[in-house]
Amino acid sequence: MKILVIAPTPFFSDRGTHIRILEEALALEKRGHSVTLATYHIGADLPKRLETNIDVRRIRRLLFWYKKLEAGPDWQKIILDLLLIKKVFFLARTKRPDVIHAHLHEGVAIGWIVQKLLFWRGIKLVGDFHGSLTKEMVSHDYLGAGFLKRVFQWIEARIDNMGDVAVTSSWENTQEISAIRKGKSTETLLDGVNDSWYQHLPSQSEARKQLGLPENKVIVTYTGALIPNKGIQYFLESIPLVLRSNPDVHFVIAGFPLDLIQPFFEGKNLSASITFISPLSYFELPKLLHASDIGVDPKDVSVRQASGKTLQYMGAGLPVACFDTKNNREYLGAEHEMAQDLSPSGLADAIVNLVNDPKKRKRFGEENRKRAFRFSWDVSAEKLETLLKTV
């Protein structure tokens, strides 16, 4: 099939949304499909090492001053999305895709408009929802309670109902969108892990030397966006609690934007116990995780997002400190130890329990490595391909 992917975001940036978009496209290409990807004017080009023929097309640089790469709402995105409608319409006319695979609510709305404008082509539309639009805007303090929030909830519900089939990245989001779509096809398409990234890595000791990490400490690592809806505040507040319990811990915080979390550390005298890596290239992520002992994912279920970072930790063979959610139980298994209390102290207890029990760390890590194969991008692509053929 010829597939036109809509990515209303500065693709590629080193964060979860972009990893899902990229890895799904790569896995579909691997299965023999031709992929064109429409996106914003900014973002990194795909590295040559990927050896991919994905055709990335960008909108015109009319908003040349817009350079925001991190997640979160911005009124200027309205202009970017209008330009993206024009780009997608052009590509749909000239490339003649069989399927439009639209990511995020903005992408689904754009895909629906183009599908209706070219109705005689019979293009199928797949909506790929990564979470709740309104809940994300609230988490970024872009919306409060009141009339405007209700307006966006109404808009979100209309978009949730668009497309011939909808896929989501979490079971919680599937349940919510299924109720809105009232019988129209809605499937969970989990994030995956690319096993090839975790082969031919240096030893843990060598990886720590290359990254400047202490060799005699337990390395506890968080990777990803440093923004509120990732649960980052739970993690930050857990750090001094963990160090109070066990000082033989070193934390790595890898992601961006770093300036959002720096005020938290002012006057706390924690610099010797933390290494910041910002930004962290997705393609360097495996080496960092290989150098680590524990991965941390502090996300709760409020924005209906799954967690690609947990799968990366699993692929690297790490135990994971996280909260007890349905997604985490499905990923990690019922026996994995999770924080029952949704709080910094609850997360700190989960981290400390793993820090203080090397045998448990090893057992959970080995189990996670085996379970990760169940959640490969190849599995997700095969399921998506089946859905595309049936709509």
Within the chain, what is the greatest distance between any pair of CA atoms? 66
Domain spanning 195-375: which superfamily? Glycogen Phosphorylase B; (3.40.50.2000)
Q: pTM for the full model?
A: 0.86
Q: What pLDDT score does 208 carry?
A: 97
Q: What pLDDT score does 114 carry?
A: 98
Tell me which residue of 24, 95, 28, 30 sits closest to 57, measured CA to CA.
95
Q: Is there a contact between 208 and 219 (Cβ–Cβ < 8 Å)?
A: yes
- The pLDDT tens digits of the residues spanning 274-328 come to 999 998 899 999 999 999 999 999 988 665 556 778 999 999 999 999 999 888 8
Structure tokens at 324: 């007890």
Task: Say yes or no: do domains 2-192+376-390 and 195-375 share a fold.
Answer: yes
Q: Is there a contact between 195 and 373 (Cβ–Cβ < 8 Å)?
A: yes
* Phi, psi at 152, each rounded to 5°: -70, -35
Instruction: Give first-to-last CA distance, the chain, whole Å.
Output: 13
Q: What pLDDT score does 302 carry?
A: 60
Residue 220, amino acid: V
The confidence band for 140, taking pLDDT boundaries of 50, 70 and 90, is low
CA 232 from centroid of its chain's CA atoms? 14
Task: Specify the higher pLDDT residue, 275 or 145.
Answer: 275
Average pLDDT, the chain: 91
> Which fold, 2-192+376-390?
Rossmann fold (3.40.50)
The confidence band for 131, taking pLDDT boundaries of 50, 70 and 90, is confident
Is the per-residue pLDDT at 113 higher than 80? yes
Q: At what angle do helices 147-160 and 171-181 cross, to 10 degrees?
A: 90
CA–CA separation, 195 vs 153, rounded Å?
Answer: 38
Write down the domain spans for the chain. 2-192+376-390, 195-375
Query: Is 349 exposed, middle or buried, given 0-12, 13-18 or 19+ CB atoms closer than 10 A?
Result: buried
**Which range is most confident: 43-52, 60-69, 246-255, 260-269?**
246-255
Edge-first strand listing for the sheet containing 218-223: 274-277, 249-254, 218-223, 294-297, 320-322
Tell me which residue of 298, 98, 306 sits closest to 189, measured CA to CA.
306
CA–CA separation, 34 vs 23, rounded Å?
Answer: 14
